[in-house]
Structure 1
Amino acid sequence: MSKFKKKGNGDLPAISTASLPDIVFMLLFFFMVATVMRQNTLKVKNELPYADQVEKLDKKDLVMYIYAGKPSERYQSTFGKEARIQLNDKFADVKDIQQFIYTERESKREELVPLLTTALKVDKETNMGLVSDIKQELRRAEALKINYTTRKGESSKNNE
């Protein structure tokens, strides 16, 4: 006589889905906290040129972005078709760059100010005169760490 009895069939019990809503909400909260929302809405055409010798920036929070290019089709009726400068979410003139740099410096902690880099995201069809004017204003604001943002690839693709 045995003390243990075998079950009639060896089926596995059904998987409990009681904790499934908890897992879904936990994932939802994780992605809500971990996702970085876009900071700026791009108002200028920004097709970056190609470069074959590129380096990646380490700390993106220490970068100030200056966009330059022709206004996108949505803004051409208001701002024309000539290349413009965009600082954060608004169009600006060259003379506004210095104030933009000072404002960005004030928003950072004092020990991080020497590490700030200015990144120029310039459309490949923008004339060099505008870029030169931007660089002159950056010199006046003593923002001497400049990065030109490009796409990785053969530089011969820029002529196409």
Structure 2
Amino acid sequence: MAIKIEKKSKLKIGIPTASMPDIIFQLLIFFMVSTVLREYTGLKVELPEAVKVQKLATKRHVSTIWVDRFNNIVIDDVSVKKITDLRTIVYNKLVEDKQLIISLRIDKEADMGIVTDIHQELRKANALRINYSAIPAVR
């Protein structure tokens, strides 16, 4: 007489993954909708017109210096009180990013003396890649 031994099947306890893509997609949509991308508008600057205007390929390695008609200077959301502080700020940014391009957005009513001072401080900080922002001239 043969004895039948039944093996008890082990219950496999696992995490159900059937609805995981739905959950991931819902989380993705939630974060896309709830994230606010803020672009700094800078000072109120009325840019000069230019005949030949080229757009920068990327804004990844760009730091912007804003100068309004009252000669207030702001670099990437940081107000510059003394013009000599600009050299230190730009030098530290250049140490972090060797490909940094300085974009100057200067109001057309700003004093030319402040522009010359900014150029001197950028030269002392060894920031030689400079871009001048302008709007296209209407023909």
In the TM superposition, what is the alpha-carbon distance from 1:153 to its structure 2 partner? Answer: 2.1
In the TM superposition, what is the alpha-carbon distance from 1:29 to its structure 2 partner? Answer: 2.8
State whether residues 46 and 121 of structure 1, in contact with CA within 8 Å, keep that contact through their aligned partners in structure 2. Answer: yes
Question: Equivalents in 1 of 2:103, 2:88: separation in Å?
Answer: 16
Question: Equivalents in 2 of 1:25, 1:136: separation in Å?
Answer: 50
Partner of 1:134: 118
Partner of 1:105: 94
RMSD across aligned positions (CA): 2.5
State whether residues 87 and 124 of structure 2, in contact with CA within 8 Å, keep that contact through their aligned partners in structure 1. Answer: yes
Which has the larger Rg? 2
Q: Which amino acid aligns with 2:101?
A: T
State whether residues 64 and 103 of structure 2, in contact with CA within 8 Å, keep that contact through their aligned partners in structure 1. Answer: yes
Give unpaired runs (5+ residues) of structure 1: 1-21, 71-81
Total equivalences in the alignment: 115
TM-score by length of 1: 0.61
Which SS does the other structure have where 1:60 is aligned?
coil
After superposition, the Cα gap between the structure-2 partners of 1:31 and 1:140, relative to the gap in structure 1 and judged at 3 Å, is same
Partner of 1:49: 48
Give unpaired runs (5+ residues) of structure 2: 1-23
Q: Which amino acid aligns with 2:126?
A: E
Question: Equivalents in 2 of 1:26, 1:52: separation in Å?
Answer: 44
Runs (4 or more) in structure 1 with deviation over 4 Å come to: 22-26
